[in-house]
Every structure is written in structure tokens, then in C-alpha cells.
Amino acid sequence: MPPLPPRPRPRRAALRTAGAAAAAAPLLALAACGSPSGAAPAGTSGGAVPVVASTNVYGDIARTIGGGEVRVTSFISDPAQDPHSYEAGTRDRLALARAGVVIENGGGYDDFMGTMLKASSSKAAVLDAVRISGRTAPKGGELNEHVWYDLPSMALLADRLSAALAKARPGRAAVFTANATAFKAKLKDLEGQVAALKAAHSGDGVAVTEPVPLYLLEAAGLRNETPEAFSEAIEEGDDVAPRTMRETLGLFGGGKVKALVSNAQTSGPQTEQVEKAARDHGVAVVPVTETLPSGQDYIGWMAGTIAALGKALS
């Protein structure tokens, strides 16, 4: 995977508030661009179904399921763009108003989508990946919204997406079903690779800079040894407390962890310090990302991540 430009992540709460305010006002003026009241969503009467996805991860899955029967717009594909601070442009709002199917991550990850939809007259079928996954916050904890690293959840999304596309284009339903079946078969192959990692490395300790890949790591039977205060601070863009930083750096010297899984799309002095400590102690650093790297599809991306994790653990 080619190196990605690092980006600092600002505080999420402030970004969500600012992004929502920026998106809401101009959207009101575009409400008339949507389907007339009671009309079918755009693209449902023939031709390619317009699909809008919050990120290129879901855009790629939509192309895989829809094939040549869809026209996909992904709002976020730049690895330097933070979904939490995304501000929609006029073209984005117009694409959403004309969409037949909309895919959002949900769970607070891409709140700008909900803001846009509320202010739009769009009658698109809206698929919320977190809601479809059935994932919820653990008791006393916070929801991990990064469900694209949860392979079974993507299988559920494929079924829902196939059904939504079939409703928009009934005559091509068999195509969507076949494509979803093929996609889910590839997901099953990936799950087999994860199961093999679990058989060989269940209980092994790992560290993470952020909770982005945790669903995949948990499926592999790996134990996250990262102090919660560290990954939470990094994810929120806060400074890590000195005591928490010492505890995190101490993971690498005593063989407590076999790999550091680091979000390659966020970087700062503290994550760089942790990555250096890992390398200095011979602990492999496995990069992960939040958006699909250029030139890759979802299946190949996940396969590469699983392979890199296996190499690190070995």
C-alpha cells in the first residue's frame, strides 16, 4: 500500500456541530431539486440507478452489487478528508436529491449525511450500515462505528443493498442478487482467513492507535492491550495524558503485544512516538485506513489488511 498523507484529527464534537451548521442552511434552498412529492426516487424508472455513498468504501460495494446498473457518487474518497469535518458542496447536495439509493455509515461517523437528508426532499432508500449491522454500544461504553471492518456486517449490507436496487430496477433484480451472492462468497473466504488467524494467534496481544480496526481484530481472537484512554484521546484529537502515554509505550518492551495496528490517515507527535517505540522494540506496525486506497476494491483491501496482520503476528 503506498504511503498516505497523514492528517491530524480535530475534536469530533466541534466538527460535527460545524459540519451540520454548514450543510443545513444551503440545503433548504435546494429542497426543490429533489423528487416531487409522491414521486418515485430518481433512477427508478429506467437507466442506471443513482447511488450516493458517504465514503468510497460503500461506493465500491455499491458498484460491486449494482454492476453496470448503477451510477455511484462517493462523497469522501480523499484519504486526507476527515468524515467528521466534511462540508457538503452544491454538487453533493444535488446528487443526494437525485439519488435512488443512499448509503451512510451511521453511528455518528458521517453525521453530515443525516443533516443533508433532513434538509432535502430526497425520497431515496437510505441504508444505514451501523443500523443494518445490529451493532450497539457495550454497556457503559461507546459504539464502535467502524463497521466496514466487520465482515458479517458487510454481508448484511450487501443483501439490503441488493433488495433496494431490485426495488428501483425490478427487471434487473436477478443481476443484483447474483452480484450480492458472489460478493458474500468472497467475504466468506476472508472470514476463513480471519478464522485461520484466530486458530494460530487467539489470545495474542495487540495495540491500536484508534478503535478503527477492532471488529477485525476481535474476530481474529486478538486481545487489545491499548489503554482505553489512549485510543480515545487520539480518536478525539486530544492530548494523551503523560501517565497514559507511559503505559502505552510500556506495551512494547515486555512482549505484551505482537503488533501495533495504526490508522495511517491520522498522525501526530504522539502516534508517531508510539509507532517509533513499537519499531524500536521489533514490534511490527500494521497500517489501516478509513477510506479505500486508490486502485483497490473492498475485498482486495480487506484481504491485504488481513495478510499484513498475519505477517506481523508471525
Give the burial class of 104: count Cβ atoms within 10 A of its Cβ; 0-12 exposed, 13-18 middle, 19 or more buried: buried
**Cβ(30)–Cβ(97) under 8 Å?**
yes
Structure confidence by residue, pLDDT tens digits, 280-309: 999 999 999 999 999 999 999 999 999 999
pLDDT of 46 reads 59
pLDDT of 84 reads 67
User: Domains, the chain, ranges and CATH?
Assistant: 12-189 (3.40.50.1980), 191-313 (3.40.50.1980)
**Cβ(19)–Cβ(111) under 8 Å?**
yes
Question: Which grid coordinates belong to 208?
Answer: 491500536
**Within its chain, how far is the Cα of 164 from the centroid?**
20
Q: What is the pTM assigned to this prediction?
A: 0.86
User: For residue 172, which amino acid is it?
Assistant: R
Structure confidence by residue, pLDDT tens digits, 193-251: 999 999 999 999 999 999 999 999 999 999 999 999 999 999 888 999 999 999 999 99
pLDDT of 254 reads 80
Report the alpha-carbon angle 37-38-39, nearest 5. Answer: 95
Question: Which grid coordinates belong to 258?
Answer: 505482537
Residue 261 DSSP symbol: E
Strands of the sheet containing 101-104, edge to edge, are 70-76, 49-55, 101-104, 125-128
Location of C-alpha cell 452544491:
90
